[in-house]
Amino acid sequence: MRFTPKTEEELQLMTLLEPGIYQFQVSTATNEMSKSGNEMIKLTLNIWDKDGRLHFIYDYLLEAMGYKLRHFCETTGLIDKYDHGEINVTDCINRQGYVELAIQEGKLKDNGERYPSRNSVKDYIKKSKVESANDLNDDIPF
């Protein structure tokens, strides 16, 4: 059997989604407490890659990350709940929208090794912004 040898880092990167904008659906949402004792909602996002493979990305909604909380509510149709100052986990389940993903480099462990890199949510994107960006992707030469 012939194959191309890969480093651990290359193998880890193969399981990650490229940075960019993706559609998502919230599969689970649970109430949690942050390390500093603040309320937050832990989300599990279902995201499908270009080959149809399902990826699970975890994200946290909390008041300290206000822009992300508001943008999540905008893209999922929960802005009225946001404007009233309260959303619940049941409000989040099965909601869909657009998310901008990044790759977060793995942090250094005490023993000098690194944790694996992972995808992270950079922000939630309103559909109108996605559509206007797609309008710019035409084949008209300048």
Residue 140 domain-assigned (yes or no) = no
pTM equals 0.81
Q: pLDDT value at position 87?
A: 96
Domain count, the chain: 1
Cα angle 110, 116, 117 (rounded to 5 degrees) comes to 120
Residue 109 domain-assigned (yes or no) = yes
Summarised one tens digit per residue, pLDDT across range 62-77 is 999 999 999 999 999 9
The string of DSSP letters for 110-128 reads TTS-BPPPEEEEEEEE-HH
DSSP state of 87: -
* Residue 133 confidence class, pLDDT cut points 50, 70, 90: low
Give the CATH number of the domain where residue 17 resides.
2.40.50
Parallel, antiparallel or unpaired: strands 54-62 and 96-104: unpaired
